[in-house]
Amino acid sequence: MKKFIFSIVVLLFSMTGFTRQTPSLSQQEKDGILYMREEEKLARDVYDSLFIKWGGRPFANIRQSEQYHMDRMKTLITTYGLEDPVVKTNDRHGIFRNASLQTFYNELVRTGGSSFTEALKTGAQIEEQDIADLEKRMKQTQKQDIIAVYDYLKMASGNHLRAFVRRLNMQGIPYEPVILSKADFDKIIGGA
């Protein structure tokens, strides 16, 4: 339902000529959009690798969701006439223009490949990082279309984080946040 509502909003913006305009963005806003596009790719690519290694849930479902998130970021890139870093790498699996994301990807695949439990923890860490980065980026813009996309992605990352933590709990393994504060983490885990 949320995907449907988001698609309607994008369609309405398109019909009103919103996407034909190229509003100006600050460098910080541009950098944020490009970074989040690649960060969503990182999540998709890591989950693809972990799904190939370990199979099953939650990797199968969440990797498909991450592609949808990449597509939402692509909409912003198109709207603002930015150069897509994913296109620049031909969307090759595990390849990133941003050096810190490349390093993070390599580390996550290595760690998540060591055991299924570590793979689940890796997934939770990715979602924590995504939430923290989205919150940071939301503070750097006043543009409502950008905030709406970031807010949607943050909500989805909260759902993904709960899925990974729930799966760890089913194995009797508690998960402690490594990026978010304990209070923020508990609020997300306690959410619906």
Domain range annotation of the chain: 23-189
Q: Which residues contact residue 163 at a Cβ distance below 8 angstroms, ignoring those fewer than 6 apart?
A: 57, 58, 61, 62
CA nearest 140: which of 21, 20, 28, 19?
A: 28
- Residues 46-102: tens digit of each pLDDT: 999 999 999 877 898 898 899 999 999 999 999 999 999 999 999 999 999 999 999
Q: For 162-180, what is the mean pLDDT?
A: 96
Is 29 in contact with 147 (CB distance < 8 Å)?
no
Residue type at 131 in one-letter notation:
I
Query: For residue 8, is pLDDT > 80?
Result: no
Cα–Cα distance measured from residue 180 to residue 161, given in angstroms and rounded to the nearest whole number: 11
Provide the pLDDT for residue 60.
87
Please say whether the beta carbons of 161 and 129 come within 8 A: no
- Calpha distance 177→111 (Å, rounded): 16
| CB proximity list for 80: less than 8 A, separation 6 or greater | 22, 23, 25, 30, 33
List the beta strands (DSSP E) in the chain.
none
pLDDT of residue 22: 58
**The pLDDT value given to residue 17:** 45
Predicted pLDDT of residue 86: 97
With contact defined as beta carbons under 8 Å apart, do 119 and 53 qualify?
A: yes
Three-state DSSP class for residue 188: helix
Whether omega for the bond prior to residue 85 falls within 30 degrees of 0, making it cis, is no
Looking at CATH, the fold of the domain delimited by 23-189 is given as: Ferritin (1.20.1260)
Which residue would you say has higher pLDDT here, 99 or 191?
A: 99
Average pLDDT, the chain: 90
Q: Please, what sign has the CA dihedral across residues 112, 100, 185, 156?
A: negative
What is the distance between the alpha carbons of residues 162 and 40, in angstroms, rounded to a whole number? 18
Kindly indicate the confidence band of residue 153, based on its pLDDT and cuts at 50, 70 and 90: very high
pLDDT at residue number 64: 87
Tokens of 114: 């060591």
C-alpha 118 chain-centroid distance = 19
pLDDT exceeds 70 at position 1: no
pLDDT digits (tens, 9 = 90+) for 101-129: 999 999 999 999 999 999 999 999 999 99
- Per-residue pLDDT at 106: 98
